[in-house]
Amino acid sequence: MMIRNLTGLLIVLLMPGLGTATARADDPWGGTWFTCEFAKSRTPPHDSCAMFDDEGFRFSDGRFTYVRLTESDETACRGEKVGQCFRRDRPAITIKTTDRGRLDLGPDRIKVRYLLCTQTFYFQDTEHYREIWPDEKRCFWARKRHFYIARYDGEVTQAP
């Protein structure tokens, strides 16, 4: 439920098909990012983020965008929920997007403005994923949860 709330916010990027090499070289937040399927509230994923949840984000043009995979038949999802995850090495996906608010990216933090409150998140990169956590001063919609996300490297198509 929390992942839906903040994925719907930070859960609550925008150039479909943006090449990963270009995104990494020019923009550390470019591309499309997904949460790691097997991460928990404050526990990193046990699979090095090899499996993605079907919800993710884009961080671009000063906007925070919620992303949802439109089709998956993956059966190895948490809770045996078919289609609610996909393998990170999948070559191509189709997504739908929803704008979730204004975004301010800094060198060591993200600020998301949503429902009249601006929440600061900090982040740190690891070998397989980026960990994101909220500032101790939290908006009413933010929780203490840490997010473990990684950039999707395959081809992305925007659904109509």
Phi, psi of 5 (to 5 degrees): -65, -50
Q: With beta carbons less than 8 A apart as the criterion, state whether 136 and 3 touch.
A: no
The confidence score (pLDDT) of residue 101 equals 83
**Parallel, antiparallel, or unpaired for β 130-134 and 117-125?**
antiparallel
Taking only the tens place, the pLDDT of each residue in 46-66 is: 999 999 999 999 988 888 899
Which pLDDT score, from 0 to 100, does residue 122 have?
95
DSSP 108: S
The tokens for 88 are: 């990170």
The reported pLDDT for the residue numbered 4 is 45
pLDDT band at 70 (very low <50, low <70, confident <90, very high): very high
Residue 65, both tokens:
């965008």
Is-contact 151 138, C-beta < 8 A?
no
**How many structural domains is the chain composed of?**
1
Show the domain range for 47: 2-158
pTM: 0.80
Count CB atoms within 10 A of the CB of residue 80: 8
Q: Give the span between the Cα atoms of 117 and 131, in whole angstroms.
A: 22
Averaged pLDDT score across all residues of the chain? 84
pLDDT in tens, 124-147: 999 999 999 999 999 998 888 899
What are the φ/ψ torsions at residue 21 (nearest 5 degrees)?
-60, -45
